[in-house]
Amino acid sequence: MSALTPVMSAATINEYLNKVFPQLNNGHQDYEALEIFPGGCTVRLNACERHIRPGGTVSGPALFALADIGGYVCVLSHVGPDALSVTTNLNINFMRKAEPGPIDGKCRILKLGRSLMVYDIEIVAGPEQHIVAHATGTYSIPPKRNFDVVK
Amino acid sequence: MSALTPVMSAATINEYLNKVFPQLNNGHQDYEALEIFPGGCTVRLNACERHIRPGGTVSGPALFALADIGGYVCVLSHVGPDALSVTTNLNINFMRKAEPGPIDGKCRILKLGRSLMVYDIEIVAGPEQHIVAHATGTYSIPPKRNFDVVK
Amino acid sequence: MSALTPVMSAATINEYLNKVFPQLNNGHQDYEALEIFPGGCTVRLNACERHIRPGGTVSGPALFALADIGGYVCVLSHVGPDALSVTTNLNINFMRKAEPGPIDGKCRILKLGRSLMVYDIEIVAGPEQHIVAHATGTYSIPPKRNFDVVK
Amino acid sequence: MSALTPVMSAATINEYLNKVFPQLNNGHQDYEALEIFPGGCTVRLNACERHIRPGGTVSGPALFALADIGGYVCVLSHVGPDALSVTTNLNINFMRKAEPGPIDGKCRILKLGRSLMVYDIEIVAGPEQHIVAHATGTYSIPPKRNFDVVK
């Protein structure tokens, strides 16, 4: 994985996400890139009342969105700012309940090809940073990267 | 599947969802149960501006939420109103882009055991009702059903 | 799905599989294409002593192989005899135990693109044809189809 | 994961597998446990001519079987010799082609509950130990462990 080199920083990606994908945070700061490193990234969900489900724990869709955005940040940070990459497959296992608070997703690029990226993400939460969910996904990267298409 | 018998109607489930899971719709009518039938159900996402992603199509998390709620409605309608069933695994394939508008998820219970339910959902959209996504998931059903726990 | 048209028959595919993929059956007649139809196919595993696991039921890998070959037969039958298509993702749920005997996989092409095919397969067995497993998978189709490459 | 303690060694597990699951290796030494450690294990496929598919690379079902046996060895080594644990879900991504030779699966238990174990496995091969496949799976552990049931 050492061969992979990020081309965007976490701060630049957060700005970019706010511009091209305002629905993601909708004026809040729910989802954000924390760190980009060669071959991966860490993303965070600042989970609050809006993200809970019956039982008072963070909902599956909120955690799925973190897993999905983690892959998006992997593509953006390692391929460049092309907003049109899309998820083609995502498999997620929910293992423990997560309370509201910061929930971190540690993403790792398993393969970065010309047209597909495969990654996994370990989602941890709480004082002991237990694994609350784990996901594996694939993004399709558009063949012609028109970096100006979404502005 | 003919051995399965629903115990709640779509209308009752929609009321129940609004009560126990207000975060799902947050005052809107985004996600709803359309129909319950023996061995499955149909759920709908009324997709609008709030659900789109870069490119103007419905986002992955919005479709995942439909797939997830479809399983939840399968459990509620066939096991009874216990809000505490939780997703343990969900695998989703995104196949075509979906425009804003009604997006329907046709759910089928593949297995209903004492502690686990496995189902799949075919998500269709547009004038030709093309398959835009397909998911398979598992719900864990709590051993003791305390129907009063969430009120 | 009615737009899809098969280009090979079940008999031709079985011959082709024996030629290009002798390891699949290894002199037996374990795995075979039963029927090809527009948008899908039916494949069979003739499960016997060789396919069982502790408990006397058909093993996970034997059912996975049926799910995998079902996708392969979908690609071959609808795209043409290019042996080099490969599985990129497969998700399988095992729901009931299957006894030795004929086990049928009913495959449906969910999307056939230029470079990827997504399909699902329902695996049924026994006198009541219960669903014993269900899988969803993706095949990558090589960009240049050289039908003579494997002979 | 440090809280998990293995109760069987790799050698004992290989003996046990030969006794209760002779179909796995069928007189060969294809699949074996290499190492057991707290919270996981390493399993190996000694891939040869019997495991290849069109194109001369190791087949999907052969790699799936390694992923599946990796989870089985996780359960056996950390719960005890109950052969009747079964896979309920397995999701596998194939990322690179693997040549015949030793192929190692590094397994990690993500959650070990009373009735379910979730794990992932990274499958590496070749001189550079590239990731050729990655899988996530769930095993169902029988409620009453009758260690004498399969002898």
Mean pLDDT by 10-residue block, N- to C-terminus, for chain D (151 residues)? 86 96 91 98 96 94 98 97 94 97 98 96 97 98 60 35
- pLDDT tens for each residue of B90-99: 999 999 999 9
Residue A145 has pLDDT above 60, yes or no: no
Nearest residue of chain D to residue A91 (CA atoms): D91
**Range list of β-strands (E), A1-140:** 31-37, 40-47, 86-94, 101-112, 116-125, 130-140
Q: Looking at residue B51, what DSSP letter applies?
A: G
Tell me the shortest Cα–Cα distance from A75 to chain D, in angstroms. 17
Nearest residue of chain A to residue C89 (CA atoms): A89
* Strand-pair category, D31-37 with C31-37: unpaired
Mean pLDDT of chain A: 93
Instruction: Quickly state the pLDDT bin for A149 (edges 50, 70, 90).
Output: very low
Give the C-alpha separation, D98 to D67, whole Å.
14
Among the partner residues B21, B52, B150, nearest to A23 by beta-carbon distance: B52
pLDDT of residue D149: 41
The answer to the question of residue C148 being in a domain is no
How many domains does chain D divide into?
Answer: 1
A110 at C interface, C-beta within 8 A: no
Residue C96: its chain B contacts at CB < 8 A?
A: 111
Give the mutation candidate from D86, D87, D89 for the B interface (greatest B CB count, under 10 A): D89
Give the C-alpha separation, A21 to A31, whole Å.
11
The answer to the question of residue B122 being in a domain is yes
Q: Can you tell me the mean pLDDT for A117-124?
A: 98
Nearest residue of chain C to residue D93 (CA atoms): C89
Residue that is written with structure tokens 């599956």 in the block: A60
Secondary structure of residue A13 in the 3-state scheme: helix
> How many C-alpha atoms does C33 have within 13 Å on its Cβ side?
27
* pLDDT above 70: percentage of residues in chain A: 93
Tell me the shortest Cα–Cα distance from D110 to chain B, in angstroms. 13
Residue D105: its chain C contacts at CB < 8 A?
A: none
B68 with B90: CB under 8 angstroms? yes
Instruction: Quickly state the pLDDT bin for C2 (edges 50, 70, 90).
Output: low
Amino acid identity of residue B65, one-letter, is A
pLDDT of residue D2: 54
pLDDT of residue A132: 98
Q: How many CB atoms lie within 10 A of CB B123?
A: 29
Q: Can you tell me the mean pLDDT for C81-109?
A: 96
Residue A150 has pLDDT above 60, yes or no: no
Tell me the shortest Cα–Cα distance from C97 to chain D, in angstroms. 10
Tell me the shortest Cα–Cα distance from C5 to chain D, in angstroms. 24
B2 at D interface, C-beta within 8 A: no
Interface contact flag, B91 A93, Cβ < 8 Å: no
Interface contact flag, A120 D134, Cβ < 8 Å: yes
Residue C13, both tokens: 């595919």
By residue range, what is the domain housing residue B128? 10-140
Q: Can you tell me the mean pLDDT for C20-46?
A: 95
A105 with A120: CB under 8 angstroms? no
The answer to the question of residue C75 being in a domain is yes
Beta partners for D87?
Answer: D139
CATH of the domain at B123: 3.10.129.10
D131 at C interface, C-beta within 8 A: no
Cα dihedral B34→B35→B40→B43 (10° resolution): 0
- Tell me the residues of chain B between 72 and 91 that have a Cβ less than 8 Å away from chain C: 91
Chains that touch B (3 or more CB pairs under 8 A): A, C, D
Interface contact flag, C50 D26, Cβ < 8 Å: yes
C123 at D interface, C-beta within 8 A: no
Interface contact flag, C64 D94, Cβ < 8 Å: no
Nearest residue of chain D to residue C85 (CA atoms): D54
Give the mutation candidate from A106, A110, A130, A132 for the D interface (greatest D CB count, under 10 A): A110
Pairs of CB atoms within 8 A across C/D: 86
Q: Can you tell me the mean pLDDT for C110-123?
A: 96
Could you say which residues of chain B have pLDDT below 50?
1, 146-151
pLDDT of residue D150: 40
Give the C-alpha separation, A8 to D146, whole Å.
55
The answer to the question of residue B47 being in a domain is yes
**ipTM reported for the complex surpasses 0.90:** yes
The answer to the question of residue D93 being in a domain is yes
Concatenate the DSSP letters of all residues of D67-134 into one string.
HHHHHHHHHHHHH-S-TT-EEEEEEEEE-S---SEEEEEEEEEEEE-SSEEEEEEEEEETTTTEEEEE
Q: Can you tell me the mean pLDDT for C140-145?
A: 79
Nearest residue of chain A to residue C138 (CA atoms): A89
Chains that touch C (3 or more CB pairs under 8 A): A, B, D
Residue C83 has pLDDT above 90, yes or no: no
> Which among B118, B140, B11, B132 is positioned nearest to B66, based on CA atoms?
B132
> How many C-alpha atoms does D75 have within 13 Å on its Cβ side?
26
pLDDT of residue C92: 98
Residue that is written with structure tokens 């993400």 in the block: A121
Interface contact flag, C60 D90, Cβ < 8 Å: yes
pLDDT of residue A82: 87
The answer to the question of residue D150 being in a domain is no
The answer to the question of residue A3 being in a domain is no
Instruction: Quickly state the pLDDT bin for C3 (edges 50, 70, 90).
Output: confident
Amino acid identity of residue A54, one-letter, is P
Residue A147 has pLDDT above 70, yes or no: no
CA distances for D137 relative to B31, B139, C90, D118, angstroms: 30, 15, 12, 6
